[in-house]
Structure 1
Amino acid sequence: MAGLVTFAVNAQSADLKVGYVQVDKILQEAPQTAESGKKLEREFSPRSQELDRMAKQIKDLEATLDKEGLTISEAERRNKERDVQNIKIEFQRKQRELREDINLRKNEELGSLQDRVNKAVQSVSEAEGYDLVVYSGVAYASKKIDITDKVLKMLGKK
């Protein structure tokens, strides 16, 4: 607490220029966020469509099995049930792999966006002579030190 008071007193006497950035707002509103989402959607759309086809195939096979279940032989019914089960296992495996791959790519895209945000914050800070800029996680920050919109402008939002 004493260190914070000392910082506040020193900041006042040195005319420190302090800024604050709302990272969550930037991550939501930056045009790169939407671009990234569309890029990931295009990248994973074929695999997602394949899973949709497999889900429909499973549903159709189960419906056929229910309808024909009493009219086919026990051995044929067991074979069809086994086929359905194998497809379900394959579907679950592909579904899990897709989720994992999407999460990896989202993290890569987020890392790239964070680098761009950091560079934009640094550019705004240097251009406007800020001595200290802090990110979210601050207990209180006055609107007059919030430079979030300036960073968004640097990223091409406004």
Structure 2
Amino acid sequence: MKQLLILLTLLLAGPSQAKTLKIGYINVDHLVTSSAQFIQANQIVIKEFQPQQDELITLANKINSLVKEFKQDKGTLSKLEIKSEIKKITDLEQQLKGQASSLKKQLALRNTQELSKIQDLINQTIKAIAIEKKFDLILYQEVAYVSKELNITPLIAEQLRLQFE
């Protein structure tokens, strides 16, 4: 970051006949979350993992039913039956936790894969527009202030929208 500031200072403070820099800024977070590609990828991932989520809901409902039955029947059960029912419920709860953890990991991995594809597409689009519009520098990390003239997020968003169609 320090090197970038020194470079910008040197370039901007150079002789008056020096080339003017064309700088742009992009809000990448906005591009990612509002792009049609992101919305579509999100829907695909949700649909892909829906059966597993439904299984978890079914298992949770089964556990709740068993707990409710156990509470109702507890007074009529022998100590051995109580122990057996508690073990059955505990085993199902452990199964639910394991499946939920596995699903969470799979979902995180899949989301990372889809996000990576979208980020690659955005970076390719940025590069193409930078070359086409002859930008010298495009920033997309944290910045304290950006004027509307430098913010080219809408330009990139429009290009992404056109690529989606």
Query: What's the TM-score bracket when you normalise by the shorter of the two chains?
Result: over 0.9
- Consecutive unaligned residues in structure 1, runs of 5 or more: none
Structure 1 counterpart of 2:22, which letter? K
Pick one of 83, 86, 90 that aligns with 1:85: 90
Deviation at 1:113, TM superposition (A): 0.5
Q: Is the 8 A contact 1:20 1:145 kept in 2?
A: yes
Output the CA distance in 2 between the equivalents of 1:58 and 1:121. 51
Matched to 2:11, the amino acid is: F
Change in Cα spacing, 1:44 to 1:11, as seen in structure 2 (3 Å) is farther
- Letter of the 2:58 partner, please give it: R
> Comparing 136-145 with 17-26, which one deviates more in the overlay?
136-145
1:77 is displaced (CA, Å) by 1.3
After superposition, the Cα gap between the structure-2 partners of 1:134 and 1:127, relative to the gap in structure 1 and judged at 3 Å, is same
Change (3 A) 1:53 1:102: same
For residue 8 of structure 1, what is the aligned residue in structure 2? 12
Partner of 2:156: 151
CA distance in 1 between counterparts of 2:106 and 2:64 reads 26
Deviation of 1:53 after TM superposition, in Å, equals 0.3
Does 2:23 correspond to 1:18? yes
After alignment, is 148-157 or 52-61 more displaced? Answer: 148-157
**Residue 24 of structure 1 contacts residue 136 of structure 1 at CA under 8 Å; is this kept in 2?**
no
Gaps of 5+ in 2: none
Q: Report Cα offsets for 1:96-131 as digits up to 9, x if no partner.
A: 000011001111111111000001111111111111
Residue of structure 2 in register with 1:63 after alignment: 68
TM-score normalised over the length of structure 2:
0.89
The percentage of aligned residue pairs carrying the same residue is 24
Q: Is 1:106 matched with 2:111? A: yes
Residues 122-141 of structure 1 mapped to structure 2, 5 A cutoff: 122-141=127-146
TM-score (ref. length: structure 1): 0.93
Q: CA 1:15–1:52 in structure 2 vs 1: closer, same or farther (change >3 Å)?
A: same
2:122 aligns with one of 104, 117, 138 = 117
Residue 155 (structure 1) shift: 0.6
Q: Deviations over 1:20-45 (max 9, x none)?
A: 11101101211111101101101100
User: Distance between the aligned counterparts of 2:62 and 2:15, measured in 1?
Assistant: 67
Choose which of 26, 33, 46 in structure 2 pairs with 1:41. 46
Deviation track 1:47-102 (CA, whole Å, cap 9, x = no partner) reads: 00000000000000000000000011111111011000000000000000000110
